Structure 1
Amino acid sequence: MMRLAVTAMIAVLLAACSTTPPSVVTLPTTARPVQPVVASINNGSIFQPNSSRLLFEERVARNIGDLLNITIEENLSAVNTSNSSSNKAGSLDYSTTGNIPLVPWDIEKYFSREGAAAVKLAGTNKFEGKGATNSTNTFKGTISVTVTDLLANGNLIVGGEKQVAVNNQINTLRFTGVVNPLDIKAGNTISSNKVADARIEQLGVGSMADANTIGWLQRFFLNVMPF
């Protein structure tokens, strides 16, 4: 019974140490099923309310299920430098010639009677700190996404996912965001810099990802060690 309890405790600890970080992508990456279209009155063979398009207009994403090409061009750089210092000093000198009213002799005798300072207090407090942070991130690539929803103002909610498997290594790229149709360029493409609420995530699973991950036992000791 004791051996079973110890085994269960070890299993719980291992499960707690192997938790994965939450995903930053929260919106759906695929389009929801299209509801059946109710038969409407035939307005002719040229003009249709849901498929109208100008004569020289290029075909771009505008409806649920349409595809859109995203050009990922993310360059983030941040530099932060801080310097702080403080210096404070204080002193106190006290002397007496004796005959202090209401002070017993047992206490007064410790004070100087020759005008020299009998009580001296001095203090100094000095602090100096420096810090610097430099962070640079570059992310480039392309991904095709699907229009998953339409907003009332005409903006498109898009999402997509791409997986590439090479030599037992699986790399997954996910992208979601909100697109203004007016920002879509020729070729049905848009830069990620023009996408609002963009969520970009790249994950790797395989031998290379395992080599860059701290082992569960080492991670356990890093969490419990106080220094």
Structure 2
Amino acid sequence: MRTFVSVLSAVFAGLLLSACAATQQPFADDPYYSPIPPEPAPRPVLKTGSLFAQHHSNSLYSDNKARHEGDIITVVLRERTQASKQAKHESGKDSSVTVDPMIGLGGRAVSVAGNVLQFGANSTSEFTGDAKADQSNSLVGDISVNVLQVMANGNLVIRGEKWLTLNTGKEYIRLTGIIRPQDVDVNNTVESNKIANARIEYSGTGAHHYGQSPGWLSRFFNGPLWPF
């Protein structure tokens, strides 16, 4: 009885967790991905009285690249992944057990209706497993993001998102990561494969997106929380 109650409690807990997870959907203008305007840096007071700020100046031969908090940089998405895996396993086992005839009085074998009492058992088990998985993904496009922070070593922390409304559904791209200023080209762009600790999310919302996913109850029965 206790086992049944425990299983029933786990089922209801899984249903509740699945329902809560299903309600947490991405939305546009998420405060986490919203641009953060940089605070105005105080200008150092120079002894000469000049308004020239050395740390904000560019030489005549420098490029117009993102260098400070709040600057905009374009990320060129060139993500392609391909994976293949194959596994095969075979096993077999044969066993046989025989018990000698039972001996009764006088050293004769015990019999019933002329049949000698003798026991034997044979068992055979075989298992064959074959698994194969192929997966490939491709993401090509551009997204402009903001420089969130300039680290002490000069690297730039970037973050941003882009939302597209197509008919009745919406698609979005979110990106976070760390880049080196040296990897930014003269057009103020950087390739996505040069982003460290990159987090790239491409998905969507709406009827077309939800129609491709099973319901939360189906996800529960097919998930690890279902004990059977």
Under a length normalisation based on structure 2, what TM-score does the superposition of the two structures give?
A: 0.69
1:84-99 to 2 correspondence within 5 Å?
84-93=89-98, 95=100
2:38 alignment partner, SS class: coil
Pair 1:59-2:50 in alignment: no
* Alignment correspondent of 1:150: 150
**Shift in alpha-carbon separation, 1:210–1:87, aligned structure 2, 3 A:** closer
**Shift in alpha-carbon separation, 1:54–1:122, aligned structure 2, 3 A:** farther
CA contact (8 A) 1:31 1:64 kept: no
**Shift in alpha-carbon separation, 1:224–1:131, aligned structure 2, 3 A:** closer
Give 1:161's aligned amino acid.
Answer: E
Pair 1:68-2:73 in alignment: yes
CA contact (8 A) 1:169 1:204 kept: yes
Quick one: which of 27, 30, 34 aligns to 2:38?
34
**Shift in alpha-carbon separation, 1:88–1:31, aligned structure 2, 3 A:** same
RMSD: 4.0
CA contact (8 A) 2:44 2:53 kept: no
Percentage of pairs with the same residue: 28
Q: 2 CA distance for matches of 1:36 and 1:107?
A: 109
Which ranges in structure 2 are unaligned for 5 or more consecutive residues? 1-14, 112-117
1:105-184 to 2 correspondence within 5 Å?
109-110=109-110, 120-184=120-184
Q: Could you list the per-position Cα deviations for residues 108-150 of structure 1 after superposition, in whole angstroms to 9, with x for gaps in the alignment?
A: 8459xxxxxx554433222110011111111111000100112
Quick check: which has more Rg, 1 or 2? 1
Q: 2 CA distance for matches of 1:144 and 1:208?
A: 26
Give the CA deviation at 1:54.
Answer: 4.2
CA contact (8 A) 1:171 1:202 kept: yes
Q: 2 CA distance for matches of 1:22 and 1:151?
A: 32
* Alignment correspondent of 1:9: none
Q: 2 CA distance for matches of 1:76 and 1:210?
A: 25
Give the CA deviation at 1:210.
Answer: 4.8
Q: Could you list the per-position Cα deviations for residues 8-36 of structure 1 after superposition, in whole angstroms to 9, with x for gaps in the alignment?
A: xxxx98x938824566xx99434433223
Q: 1 CA distance for matches of 2:156 and 2:20?
A: 39
Under a length normalisation based on structure 1, what TM-score does the superposition of the two structures give?
A: 0.69
Deviates more, 1:43-52 or 1:130-139: 43-52
CA contact (8 A) 1:28 1:148 kept: no
Q: How many residues in Structure 1 have an aligned counterpart in Structure 2? A: 200
Give 1:29's aligned amino acid.
Answer: Y
